[in-house]
Amino acid sequence: MIAVATQPLVGPLTLARAAQSAARARELVHQALGDGELAKLADAAALVVSEMVANSVLHGRCSRVHVTVQRTGRTGVRVVVADGSRALPVLRKPGGEDMGGRGLVIVEALAVRWGAEVLPWGKRVWAELAGGAA
């Protein structure tokens, strides 16, 4: 069951499909979660959005990435990254010598749940974090 987002905190914000956009997305998450009751999720949510934006930069097809941060309840947050590729992300189990492939492993470890949806123009990847995550 997917929690329904109740309040957008940031976005959708459009960023360039470029490596430096992961840093900008992290900043946005920290600003959105601020110093209120969601602040304890800021570091974990920033890491999650960074990994999701990095995947969009590597695998996306258009020049833009869209980032949204939504409140899912009193102590929950949903981070959403959308891009122009309709190819859904695949959770891999990289070996110790692999140089990459750990992004979704990190997302899965930090999120209560995550998923992806194909859209007419691309895809949306989301992850939900709750008060005890991090």
The pLDDT of residue 113 is above 90: yes
Say which residues have a Cβ less than 8 Å from residue 37's Cβ, sequence separation at least 6.
74, 75, 131
Residues 49-105: tens digit of each pLDDT = 999 999 999 888 789 999 999 998 888 999 999 999 999 988 777 666 655 556 788
The pLDDT of residue 8 is above 90: no
CATH value of 7-130 in 3.90.1720.10, 3.40.50.720, 3.40.50.1000, 3.30.565.10: 3.30.565.10
Query: Rounded CA gap, 86 and 71, in Å?
Result: 26
pLDDT confidence band for 1 (50 / 70 / 90): very low
Across 24-31, average pLDDT = 94
Residue among 25, 22, 28, 35 nearest 9 (CA):
28
The pLDDT of residue 40 is above 90: yes
pLDDT confidence band for 133 (50 / 70 / 90): very low
Query: Rounded CA gap, 124 and 118, in Å?
Result: 7
132/102: higher pLDDT: 102
pLDDT confidence band for 134 (50 / 70 / 90): very low
Across 3-12, average pLDDT = 64
Domain ranges of the chain: 7-130
Determine the pLDDT at residue 94.
64
Phi/psi of residue 106, each to 5°? Answer: -65, -45
Determine the pLDDT at residue 35.
75
Model pTM score = 0.86
Kindly give the residue spans of alpha helices, DSSP state H, lying in the chain. Answer: 20-33, 42-59, 103-110
Query: Rounded CA gap, 51 and 104, in Å?
Result: 7
